[in-house]
A and B are shown apart, each in its own frame.
Chain A
Amino acid sequence: MAGRIKKGGLIVNEHTLTASQTRDHVNVLSRWFDFIHHDDLRDRLTRPTARPFCLLTFDDGKRSNASETVPELERLGVPAVFYVTTRFLTDGAPLWFDRYAALTQTLGRTPAGLEAETVKQLPFAVLNQRLDEACGKHGVTPDTTNDDIRPMSWDDARELARRGFTIGAHSLKHAILTHEPEAAALSDIAQSIAEVTSELGTQCTTFAFPNGNYTARLTQHAITCGVHTVMTTEPMWADARFPLWRLPRVELMPGSNPSRITLKLALAATGGLLANPDGTGRLYRKINRLPSSRCSASPPSRTSR
């Protein structure tokens, strides 16, 4: 049904799912979509089939991806991409938004200087300093025994890759890269891609922007660092109109029931009703009407699986 309405398919953006949530999401999506591997994405975009595709992606690199989600995906025979925040995997320090969530949960409010509308506008150093001060003052530490908070290990990531899943880069520490000085953002992208490549022993082929915020310069830089695809969070279907360096993804929430997921997919198909979770609302509608011919760097030829 969906294939008659739309060409292309969906790239779904998840974060953490329990085994039963994974099963529920896959069940809903499998009604309309063929699940594909990241390596098949380019072909499916350029040569659409009658039935649309779905590429599952999971951001951040939490331990529960490896312990809860992957066994269920394997059982169901569904491929996926896991975008890992590389220093998070290396040093295990909780990500800033988990510290923020622990802080607001403990206090029952947002502390001054860390209001919801402020927190995602701050450069990473300023944000971390405020979180350090607030967490220190109120004695708040996230529960690092929770698999939805602590990272998977690099051994986990290597094991996932060995079992056929794709491991992509998701920055060093989940800074919102458009809010950093450009040189720092470029370096962050290059280093995170290099770290995935080095840890896995094979070229990292995909990058996803933390929080989804991007510019063409940053995406092009990721391509020059060797990846073939770059993901944003523009909540739309992906088709041949989109260059591989700027692919939209539709975010699904862990607790969504089947009808809510179905509704979201239908809204995403309209190409303009959903708000981009990166904080830019529906500006993507205007952006996608702009010609993008001036960024014409083409990705290197694809390596075989």
Chain B
Amino acid sequence: MANEMTSNSPPTGESSHGRPLSKVVALLVGEPRAPELWTLKKLAAASALHVVRAQDGTSVSAAERLQTLRRKHGVSGLASRLIAKKLVVERQERRQLQRLDQLLDGEHLREWWQSSGITPVHVPHLNHADARSAIESLQPDIMVRVSGGILKRETFSLAQHSTLNIHHGQAPHIRGMWSIPWGIVEGRPEWIGATVHVIDDGIDTGRVLWRGTPQLAPGDTGDELFFRAHLEAVDALVRVILDYPQGTAPTALQTGAQGPSVYRSAPGLRPSLRYLRLGRGRRAPFILERAVKC
């Protein structure tokens, strides 16, 4: 049951480009952090924005998730991931969020969020019946998954045009989570970047509408690459949203013959430690080589 069904009164009418504004519903989980706030602020400037916010990312319990992971990775693989999460990944994530908060000027973004007049509709999780009924009542042209877990078809099919996502990695080359660090750990520059894609039943498998990569240069870390990829991806997302009311649904990129598509989930202990040894990218040989090789 949604506990707050009131929504904001977003801007209506035309964008600064003289085009009619799309009604966009942004889906997020928990308190938005700097990267999510950056996305919301840009969306609010380019659309009639509503927000549906969930407390939890998923309806699956922690025990069920552990069962699934054990089946997928075995006991040792699961143990490795749990240890890595406790010892390395959580610290890295905290550090990355602090860094992104600085880079994205989280202080001003939070001030904007407080004064934006956007009142999120609260739901238990994004695939919950309350979330669906909230979205149905808003009748969005487009939905954007700003944060949160995997959306089910019953949820992502509620947008008139499509539901979009920013994946911080180059889909479909690399799908799943931690994609930029995976690219650093495995020496795969073609994985580093971001993708704007339509959400479908798979994970990061939907039609790719935009894909980009920041320049890789000596001194870059995963945090800075995420930051620059995010800025470019949000700008691309806004362009896609501005194009919809023109009746020009953006053309999907041809992603067929571009090598294998790899899925990676959370890292175990070995890749987490390797990421640290590589200075989170700063000492990654393939990034340093950008100084001397074209």
CB atoms of A215 and B217 under 8 A apart: yes
Chain A positions within 8 Å of B, measured between CB atoms, are: 112-113, 115, 117-118, 121-123, 126, 130, 178-182, 185, 213-217, 220, 246, 278-281, 283-284, 286-287, 290-292, 294-295
A294 to B232, CA, bound (A): 29
Known pairs A113-B105, A113-B108, A123-B228; A178 contacts B294 (CB<8 A): no
Q: Is B103 engaged at the interface, CB distance under 8 Å to the other chain?
A: yes
Using CB atoms, name the residue of chain B closest to A114.
B105
Known pairs A118-B102, A180-B215, A181-B232; A215 contacts B107 (CB<8 A): no
Residues of A within 8 A of B108 (CB): 112-113
CB atoms of B107 and A113 under 8 A apart: yes
Task: Pick the contact of A181: B105, B214, B283, B293 (CB < 8 A).
Answer: B214
CB atoms of A220 and B294 under 8 A apart: yes
Task: Pick the contact of A283: B107, B214, B216, B218 (CB < 8 A).
Answer: B218
CB atoms of A287 and B218 under 8 A apart: yes
Q: Is B291 engaged at the interface, CB distance under 8 Å to the other chain?
A: yes
CB atoms of B292 and A181 under 8 A apart: no
Task: Pick the contact of B290: A123, A180, A215, A291 (CB < 8 A).
Answer: A215
CB atoms of B289 and A283 under 8 A apart: no
Interface residues of B in 102-123 (CB under 8 A from A): 102-103, 105, 107-108
> Within the complex, what minimum Cβ distance (angstroms) separates B210 from chain A?
12
Residues of A within 8 A of B227 (CB): 121
Q: Is B231 engaged at the interface, CB distance under 8 Å to the other chain?
A: yes
A-B contact pairs, 16 of them (CB 8 A): A113-B105, A115-B102, A118-B102, A121-B227, A123-B231, A181-B214, A181-B215, A214-B291, A215-B216, A215-B291, A217-B294, A280-B218, A280-B219, A283-B288, A290-B288, A295-B292
A220 to B102, CA, bound (A): 33
Q: Is B20 engaged at the interface, CB distance under 8 Å to the other chain?
A: no
CB atoms of A294 and B293 under 8 A apart: yes
Using CB atoms, name the residue of chain B closest to A178.
B217
Known pairs A113-B107, A214-B291, A217-B290; A283 contacts B219 (CB<8 A): yes
Interface residues of B in 169-216 (CB under 8 A from A): 212, 214-216
Using CB atoms, name the residue of chain A closest to B111.
A112
Closest 9 CB pairs of A and B: A113-B105, A178-B217, A280-B219, A292-B292, A112-B107, A294-B293, A215-B290, A287-B291, A118-B102
Residues of B within 8 A of A290 (CB): 285, 288-289, 291-293
Using CB atoms, name the residue of chain A closest to B231.
A123
Using CB atoms, name the residue of chain A closest to B290.
A215
Residues of B within 8 A of A123 (CB): 228, 231
- Other A-B pairs, 8, CB within 8 Å; known A112-B108, A216-B290: A113-B108, A181-B214, A181-B215, A213-B217, A283-B219, A286-B288, A290-B288, A294-B294
Residues of A within 8 A of B288 (CB): 283, 286-287, 290
Q: Is B282 engaged at the interface, CB distance under 8 Å to the other chain?
A: yes
Using CB atoms, name the residue of chain A closest to B104.
A113
Using CB atoms, name the residue of chain B closest to A297.
B294
A279 to B290, CA, bound (A): 16
CB atoms of A112 and B218 under 8 A apart: no
A178 to B227, CA, bound (A): 14
Using CB atoms, name the residue of chain B closest to A214.
B291
The interface centre, meaning the residue of B105, B108, B282, B289 with most chain A CB atoms within 10 A of its CB, is: B105
Q: Is B224 engaged at the interface, CB distance under 8 Å to the other chain?
A: yes
A213 to B218, CA, bound (A): 8
Known pairs A181-B232, A280-B218; A216 contacts B294 (CB<8 A): yes
Residues of B within 8 A of A214 (CB): 217, 291
Residues of B within 8 A of A284 (CB): 218
Residues of B within 8 A of A213 (CB): 217-219
A295 to B102, CA, bound (A): 36
CB atoms of B283 and A286 under 8 A apart: yes
Residues of B within 8 A of A121 (CB): 103, 224, 227
Residues of A within 8 A of B232 (CB): 181
CB atoms of A216 and B293 under 8 A apart: yes
CB atoms of B216 and A126 under 8 A apart: no
> Within the complex, what minimum Cβ distance (angstroms) separates A240 from chain B?
16
Residues of A within 8 A of B291 (CB): 214-216, 246, 287, 290
A292 to B103, CA, bound (A): 33
Residues of A within 8 A of B282 (CB): 283
Using CB atoms, name the residue of chain B closest to A112.
B107
> Within the complex, what minimum Cβ distance (angstroms) separates B97 from chain A?
14
CB atoms of B105 and A130 under 8 A apart: yes
A291 to B292, CA, bound (A): 7
A213 to B217, CA, bound (A): 8
A220 to B293, CA, bound (A): 10
